[in-house]
Structure formats: C-alpha cells, structure tokens
Amino acid sequence: MNKAELIAHIADAVGCPKTQANASLDAFIEAVTKSLKKGDKVTLVGFGTFSVSKRAARTGRNPQTGETIKIKAKKVARFKAGKELSGKL
C-alpha cells in the first residue's frame, strides 16, 4: 500500500473527501517527525511505538573496490509494533 492508496482507504472509512484525509495524514506524519526530532517517543497504544535510535560509527567496506571506509554515527527512526498489532499479523 502506498500513500495514495492509504489516503483513499482513510477517506472511504471515515466518509470524508480525499483532500481532508490527505491533510490529516500529513499532519500525523509532521507531528511524529517533530516529536522524534526532539528525541521523544510516540506511543499509540495497541499499534506501536515510534522512537529514535543511535547508530555508532563503524568501519565498512566498499563492495566494488574492497576499500575500507568509515561510516559516521547517525540517528535513525525505529518502529516497534504493539502487542495488539503483532497479534493480528
């Protein structure tokens, strides 16, 4: 399912125009993004938790040349499915 299909599904389920469903989805994504940038977690009971995880710096290899390269440390977004969502899969 892509974003357009998700918007169509939300619009049908709620009975609102697709433009309103799109605005709602964009607002949700923006709210989650802002919270994660602050370092906060976003927990949706029964669905899951969005959080930020830190990856340490490490060395890797260029697969084409075999040359050793340094990979910088960075922050990545994580999602852990909740018990209810996991049970439905």
Tens of pLDDT, residues 54-74 = 999 999 999 999 899 999 999
- Rounded percentage of the chain residues whose pLDDT exceeds 70: 100
Q: Domains of the chain (ranges plus CATH)?
A: 3-88 (4.10.520.10)
Tens of pLDDT, residues 26-35 = 999 999 999 9
Task: Give the pLDDT of residue 70.
Answer: 94
Please count the other Cβ atoms lying within 10 Å of the Cβ belonging to residue 21: 19
Strand partners, 78: 51
Helix residue ranges per DSSP H, the chain: 3-14, 18-38, 83-88
Q: pTM of this prediction?
A: 0.77
